[in-house]
Amino acid sequence: MGNITYMTSEGYKKLIEELNELENVQRPAISKQIAEARDKGDLSENAEYDAAKEAQGMLEMKIALLKETIASARLIDESRINTNEVQILTRVKIKNTKTQQVMSYMIVSESEANLKEGKLSVTTPIAKGLLGKKVGDNVAIPVPNGIMQFEILEISL
Protein backbone atom coordinates (compact mmCIF):
# COMPACT_ATOMS: atom_id res chain seq x y z
CA MET A 1 0.00 0.00 0.00
CA GLY A 2 1.13 3.56 -0.71
CA ASN A 3 1.94 6.31 1.72
CA ILE A 4 -0.14 6.82 4.80
CA THR A 5 -1.68 10.26 4.71
CA TYR A 6 -2.30 11.89 8.06
CA MET A 7 -5.18 14.32 8.12
CA THR A 8 -7.76 15.97 10.26
CA SER A 9 -11.38 14.90 10.19
CA GLU A 10 -12.10 18.20 8.43
CA GLY A 11 -9.54 17.44 5.71
CA TYR A 12 -10.96 13.94 5.32
CA LYS A 13 -14.49 15.30 4.96
CA LYS A 14 -13.31 17.65 2.20
CA LEU A 15 -11.80 14.73 0.27
CA ILE A 16 -15.01 12.70 0.55
CA GLU A 17 -17.02 15.70 -0.67
CA GLU A 18 -14.65 16.20 -3.58
CA LEU A 19 -14.91 12.52 -4.52
CA ASN A 20 -18.71 12.68 -4.44
CA GLU A 21 -18.66 15.74 -6.68
CA LEU A 22 -16.35 14.04 -9.19
CA GLU A 23 -18.23 10.74 -9.26
CA ASN A 24 -21.80 12.01 -9.08
CA VAL A 25 -21.65 15.33 -10.90
CA GLN A 26 -18.63 15.56 -13.18
CA ARG A 27 -18.48 11.92 -14.34
CA PRO A 28 -22.07 11.89 -15.65
CA ALA A 29 -21.56 15.33 -17.21
CA ILE A 30 -18.53 14.11 -19.16
CA SER A 31 -20.31 10.92 -20.25
CA LYS A 32 -23.10 13.11 -21.56
CA GLN A 33 -20.63 15.29 -23.47
CA ILE A 34 -19.05 12.20 -25.02
CA ALA A 35 -22.45 10.85 -26.04
CA GLU A 36 -23.46 14.18 -27.57
CA ALA A 37 -20.17 14.49 -29.44
CA ARG A 38 -20.55 10.91 -30.68
CA ASP A 39 -24.05 11.67 -31.97
CA LYS A 40 -22.63 14.40 -34.17
CA GLY A 41 -21.18 11.77 -36.43
CA ASP A 42 -17.66 11.55 -37.83
CA LEU A 43 -15.36 10.86 -34.86
CA SER A 44 -12.14 11.13 -36.85
CA GLU A 45 -12.35 14.92 -37.06
CA ASN A 46 -14.45 15.52 -33.99
CA ALA A 47 -12.40 17.74 -31.71
CA GLU A 48 -15.20 17.89 -29.15
CA TYR A 49 -15.20 14.11 -28.83
CA ASP A 50 -11.40 14.02 -28.39
CA ALA A 51 -11.51 16.76 -25.77
CA ALA A 52 -14.30 15.03 -23.87
CA LYS A 53 -12.47 11.68 -23.96
CA GLU A 54 -9.33 13.37 -22.68
CA ALA A 55 -11.26 15.14 -19.91
CA GLN A 56 -12.77 11.78 -18.98
CA GLY A 57 -9.32 10.23 -18.70
CA MET A 58 -8.11 13.05 -16.46
CA LEU A 59 -11.23 12.80 -14.32
CA GLU A 60 -10.86 9.04 -13.86
CA MET A 61 -7.23 9.55 -12.87
CA LYS A 62 -8.26 12.18 -10.32
CA ILE A 63 -10.94 9.87 -8.91
CA ALA A 64 -8.46 7.00 -8.60
CA LEU A 65 -5.92 9.23 -6.83
CA LEU A 66 -8.53 10.57 -4.45
CA LYS A 67 -9.72 7.05 -3.63
CA GLU A 68 -6.14 6.05 -2.94
CA THR A 69 -5.62 9.03 -0.62
CA ILE A 70 -8.87 8.32 1.20
CA ALA A 71 -7.97 4.64 1.53
CA SER A 72 -4.58 5.50 3.05
CA ALA A 73 -5.93 8.23 5.31
CA ARG A 74 -5.21 8.04 9.00
CA LEU A 75 -7.29 10.47 10.99
CA ILE A 76 -5.35 12.35 13.58
CA ASP A 77 -6.71 12.13 17.09
CA GLU A 78 -6.83 15.83 17.76
CA SER A 79 -7.28 15.33 21.49
CA ARG A 80 -3.83 13.73 21.73
CA ILE A 81 -1.95 16.65 20.30
CA ASN A 82 0.12 18.53 22.81
CA THR A 83 2.44 21.48 22.60
CA ASN A 84 5.53 19.99 24.27
CA GLU A 85 7.06 19.56 20.85
CA VAL A 86 6.38 20.39 17.24
CA GLN A 87 4.03 17.83 15.71
CA ILE A 88 1.41 17.64 13.03
CA LEU A 89 -1.42 20.11 13.71
CA THR A 90 0.58 22.27 16.05
CA ARG A 91 1.30 25.87 15.15
CA VAL A 92 4.93 26.79 15.52
CA LYS A 93 6.43 30.26 15.68
CA ILE A 94 10.01 30.30 14.47
CA LYS A 95 12.62 33.00 14.09
CA ASN A 96 15.17 32.93 11.30
CA THR A 97 18.29 33.62 13.35
CA LYS A 98 20.07 35.16 10.36
CA THR A 99 17.39 37.63 9.29
CA GLN A 100 15.52 37.85 12.64
CA GLN A 101 12.32 37.32 10.64
CA VAL A 102 9.59 35.64 12.67
CA MET A 103 7.20 33.24 10.93
CA SER A 104 4.33 31.18 12.12
CA TYR A 105 3.27 27.92 10.48
CA MET A 106 0.78 25.21 11.19
CA ILE A 107 2.11 21.77 10.30
CA VAL A 108 -0.57 19.87 8.36
CA SER A 109 -0.95 16.85 6.09
CA GLU A 110 0.10 17.20 2.48
CA SER A 111 -3.49 17.35 1.25
CA GLU A 112 -4.28 20.26 3.60
CA ALA A 113 -1.16 22.33 2.93
CA ASN A 114 -1.78 25.93 1.93
CA LEU A 115 1.06 28.40 2.25
CA LYS A 116 -1.25 31.42 1.94
CA GLU A 117 -2.93 30.26 5.15
CA GLY A 118 0.42 29.45 6.75
CA LYS A 119 -0.30 25.70 6.57
CA LEU A 120 2.95 23.89 5.90
CA SER A 121 2.94 20.31 4.60
CA VAL A 122 4.51 17.82 6.97
CA THR A 123 6.50 16.54 3.97
CA THR A 124 8.44 19.80 3.42
CA PRO A 125 12.08 20.05 4.54
CA ILE A 126 11.24 22.80 7.03
CA ALA A 127 8.38 20.85 8.65
CA LYS A 128 10.50 17.68 8.77
CA GLY A 129 13.31 19.64 10.42
CA LEU A 130 10.95 21.09 13.04
CA LEU A 131 9.06 17.92 14.00
CA GLY A 132 9.88 16.73 17.50
CA LYS A 133 11.71 19.92 18.45
CA LYS A 134 10.89 21.96 21.55
CA VAL A 135 10.62 25.64 22.42
CA GLY A 136 14.07 27.20 22.66
CA ASP A 137 15.64 24.66 20.31
CA ASN A 138 17.85 25.95 17.53
CA VAL A 139 17.33 24.03 14.33
CA ALA A 140 19.51 23.95 11.23
CA ILE A 141 17.45 22.94 8.21
CA PRO A 142 19.03 22.13 4.86
CA VAL A 143 17.08 23.83 2.07
CA PRO A 144 17.89 23.90 -1.65
CA ASN A 145 19.96 27.09 -1.31
CA GLY A 146 21.94 26.30 1.82
CA ILE A 147 21.09 25.89 5.47
CA MET A 148 18.50 27.90 7.37
CA GLN A 149 18.84 28.44 11.09
CA PHE A 150 15.67 28.78 13.14
CA GLU A 151 14.96 29.24 16.79
CA ILE A 152 11.64 27.82 17.99
CA LEU A 153 9.85 30.56 19.90
CA GLU A 154 6.45 29.08 20.56
CA ILE A 155 4.36 25.97 19.96
CA SER A 156 0.60 26.29 20.18
CA LEU A 157 -2.60 24.69 18.97
Quick count: other Cβ atoms within 10 Å of Cβ 129? Answer: 19
Long-range pairs for 58-62: beta carbons < 8 A, 24 or more residues apart: 59/22, 59/26, 59/27, 59/30, 62/22
Statement: residue 109 has pLDDT above 90? no
Helix (H) or strand (E) holding 9, with range, is helix 9-21
The model's pLDDT over 113-156, given as tens digits with 9 standing for 90+, comes to: 898 999 999 888 999 999 999 999 999 998 888 899 999 999 99
Torsion of CA 133, 122, 11, 152, to 10 degrees: 30
pLDDT on residue 138 = 96
Percent helix, strand and coil across the chain, each rounded to 5?
45, 25, 25
Domains and CATH numbers, the chain: 5-75 (1.10.287.180), 79-156 (3.10.50.30)
Are the C-beta atoms of 95 and 153 separated by less than 8 Å?
A: yes
pTM over 0.85: no
- The amino acid that residue 64 corresponds to is A
Q: Distance (Å, rounded) from C-alpha 131 to C-alpha 73?
A: 20
For range 85-105, the mean pLDDT = 93
What percent of the chain clears pLDDT 90, i.e. is strictly above it? 55
CA atoms within 13 A on the CB side of 76: 18
Residue 2 confidence class, pLDDT cut points 50, 70, 90: low
Statement: residue 10 has pLDDT above 80? yes
- The amino acid that residue 11 corresponds to is G
Residue 31's closest CA among 60, 52, 48? Answer: 52
Q: Distance (Å, rounded) from C-alpha 33 to C-alpha 53?
A: 9
Please provide the average confidence, as pLDDT, over all residues in the chain: 89
For range 42-53, the mean pLDDT = 81
For range 62-81, the mean pLDDT = 86
